[in-house]
Amino acid sequence: VATLVDFGCSQLEGSSIVLLRGSLRYYPYKAVIDKSYYNNECDLHMCSFVIYEMIEEHEIYPKHGGDTETIIGFRKDGVHPEWSRKSVGFNDDVLKINEIWTTAATS
């Protein structure tokens, strides 16, 4: 199964269109508060949440119904989504993704 992902922050090369921001629920907190922080690590961070959603088969912080402000607040406080599914290679995948989340919070 392939999943198309659009964070709403891409731009055609040479375009004069000024983009605002895409889906803030996936951004690392530093990029939420300062859009000049956006870099390649932000792409990795946002993709890690999509990987989480694919493994877990639900959205990040499912109890909060996709409320962006709540999700950003969790990110600010260093509260990451909880993992519940177990599969082959699960622990290795989780460790890699948790490292991405922790690095984005501190860099």
CA nearest neighbour of 100 among 30, 24, 39, 49: 49
Side-chain half-sphere of 32: how many Cα atoms within 13 Å? 19
- For residue 57, the one-letter residue type is E
Any idea which residue has 């949440």 for tokens? Answer: 49
Q: How confident is the model at residue 6, as a pLDDT?
A: 59
Rounded to whole angstroms, the Cα distance separating 49 from 46 reads 5
* pTM summary value: 0.67
Distances (CA, A) of 50 to 3, 18, 81, 84: 9, 25, 12, 15
* Each residue's pLDDT tens digit, 39-90: 777 778 888 888 888 888 888 898 998 898 999 999 899 888 888 866 556 6
Q: How confident is the model at residue 69, as a pLDDT?
A: 92
Q: Is the pLDDT of residue 97 over 80?
A: yes
